Structure 1
Amino acid sequence: MHQMAKNPHVVAANFAKQYGPLISLRLGTRLLVVASSPEAAKEVLKTQDRQLSGRSIPDALQQTFIDYYFVWARDCNEHWKSCRTLCRAELFSAKAIEGQSNLRNEKLGHMLDFLNNTQGKAIKVEELIFTTLINTLSNVLFSKDFLDLKDDETAHRLKFGLFKILENSVTPNVSDFFPIVGGLDLQGLRKDCLNHLDELSSFSEAIVKQRRAQIASKVVVADDKKDFLDRLLELNFTTSQINILVLELCIAGTDTVVTTMEWAMAELIKNKDIFLKVQQELTQELNFDTIMNSDLSKFPYFNACIKETLRLHPVVPVLIPRRALEACDVMGYTIPQNAQVWVNVWAISHDPKVWEDPNTFKPERFLGSNIDYMGHDYEFIPFGGGRRMCPGLPSGVKSLHIILASLIVGYDWALPNGEDPTKLDMTEKFGVTLQKEKPLEIVFTSRK
């Protein structure tokens, strides 16, 4: 059990090399099954998708959020379906994403203005992207900015709180392995989650209170001016339910995109020839003023760079664990009821039997290939697959494309203090998302 503590995705991948693509481990009272090949992943995510669609709620969250679990932590019941249907219709449908385009462009413009006014300074990439995304999302939810690009401290506090809740949910916890001692919260993870939840709720509670007061005073809001909060209040969501849903949307709507952006930019600045090639591809047809309304999916090398980033640095190294609702067979083996099932995306992405030269950043491997990340090509499943696949994927990809393309077309990049990009530290840090251990800082110089 101690071997799985720091980099469980790597440890499990090494076990798979020795024992095969489907292994089982006994962690305390918990049986863990790990799928580490495209074939095993397909059986988990497609063939046995329904039987393996349950969730094991981490103890750090289970007691803290007992009355209003995260949607991702629920089994596929009617409440789960209704929440996903609501979010898909109001936030993630093609119509909703198109309706958010002006807002997305406005927040991107704020980010670019900030960069133009801070040229020559080292910018923390994760905080820049996080603030841009969180303000886009908070305006969709509440018609209000949460953060100011100039206020590093508040941005760091919000991001840190979201990160700690995620980190606590995946930290090896004795209460998960030995439920008999769960009530003691021996590692303090449940208490820490509750403290961060209270702090993060302050970002939304005042807005909810004000909006309830407006409703009570019969203030009429035109339908085309209503935001997601108005819709939740119409459906009689409690303040606690709203806080939890907003927290979940903030995590899901920022963490994966921020992490992917940081890794993509790290690989591009480390590999100058690739950066110049993708910059040339984009600037042949685009300029700084036309990116926002362009179809960025038509640029093959640009998209190959994004896919290769997601392969080499899968944003979710191990898909959020599933739980067997009933016993079922996977690759000829019986998975008992209530067993926890992992799909090790990192192991598949780094398997030399699946990918040639898997540890090298080579976007060319995706040129002329129809492989995508929509969950149907099981050798490449950075966002999972099946009924538990992320519903916000189209929205996240849209934001990723437009922000990354704008930074490539509009700016030249350099590391601070004349550091050599070829020696950039690429050490990974395991969590729900696979983050860069040392945050990336870049000096942006406008190409105008």
Structure 2
Amino acid sequence: MNRWKKRALSLSALVLAAGAVLLVFSLQPEIAPVAPPQASQFSAEQIARGKTLAALGDCKVCHTRTGGQVDAGGMAFNTQFGTIYSSNITPDVATGIGSWSYPAFKRAMRYGINREGHYLYPAFPYTSFTLTRDDDLQDLYAWLMVQPAVSYRPPKTELHFPFNVRQGMFAWNWLFLTPGPLPVNPQHSEEWNRGAYLGESLGHCSACHSPRNLAGAEKGGSHHLSGGIVDGWSVPALNSHSPAPIAWNHQQLMQFMRTGFASSHGVAAGPMAPVIAEGLSQLPEDDLRAIATWLASFQPPWPDHGKEVSIQAEQQMMLANSPGARQFAGSCMACHAQNTGPKLYGVRPSLMLNSNLYSDSPDNLIRIVLDGIQHPATPELGSMPGFRYQLNNQQIAVLLNYLRTDLAQRASWPDLQNRIEQIRQQTEDKS
């Protein structure tokens, strides 16, 4: 046997040995099943706190499929690794978490390992949930265990090789999971620390608002809260990387989290709308105030001159006579540029201040123009009609270029018409 063959065999043996060691260390024991806890085991106060924590964690948003029963799972998450389906977190014994003890629940939340000892994928944001304190996890467990049990088995998650090998998550966790709870930052106030705790743990803001690396893990450091991509939507940065022309202040953050609308920034749409509807809008005022204090600390010290800019923008819209301005007048002005006359149902956000106009990507605006906002974060906002069947790609491109160049004073998005066609096809209802 020549020297190269010996080296190849030695390397193969080393790889196999390393794989065997990894397999041994990655094996996790099953936690024995229990009878579903009775509601009498939990206090009314514990259940009430758990309800608020479930809203903070957006449990209902991710664990309820369209047309399905609450928390029964089955929502599809399309990732670059394949499709992941959310699990049933109702207390059904056969298909949900009814047989889970609190230690089993805690292990899933802290380490991403279910009762049977199987690794979970980080589409379930245990990398954030791990920061949650024990008392809050106990309250959340109490709330989930007193909800109606639903017998439903979600579709099986299907990922590409090698990501379909769940044991590989042992290495992923070793690289990217830092178990909590979140430490207190002595350089900030008690309210700031409360907001950081709520936003970083169960609130898992960074799960959507931070970019991810090739392994699907959140990027930290200066990338933390600097924006991401969710279901084809561009998720804006919550820090100084925000494209918004006006920095978020405490009042605007409070208003947006409570209602889904901030006059200097726009309306919640896409994946953010249900987060407001089912989550943030349900939180106590003190919790929202704390989160706003935390988020506001990431904002640059820009002057808040939104009202003046908005007035100038509306005047510009009324005077312009370009093809884009005429398209805007025919399709949008009735709701987005009313200086006088009767007020229509819902809010009338100034498009001049919409953060999407200042983004590097036109995708969010394209999606909104095509399909509107049919399910607003709160009913008071009113809905917006879509123009998928009223405007062709060229008309939408003319409109968006006008908003981008004339109002936002930014360079036009390249190859816009082709991008509109791509998103039109991707979002077409095939039913």
Which of structures 1 and 2 has the larger relative contact order (alpha carbons within 8 angstroms, sep 6+)?
A: 1
Greater helix content: 1
Greater strand content: 1
Task: Specify the structure having the higher radius of gyration (Cα).
Answer: 2
TM-score (norm 2): 0.24
TM-score (norm 1): 0.23
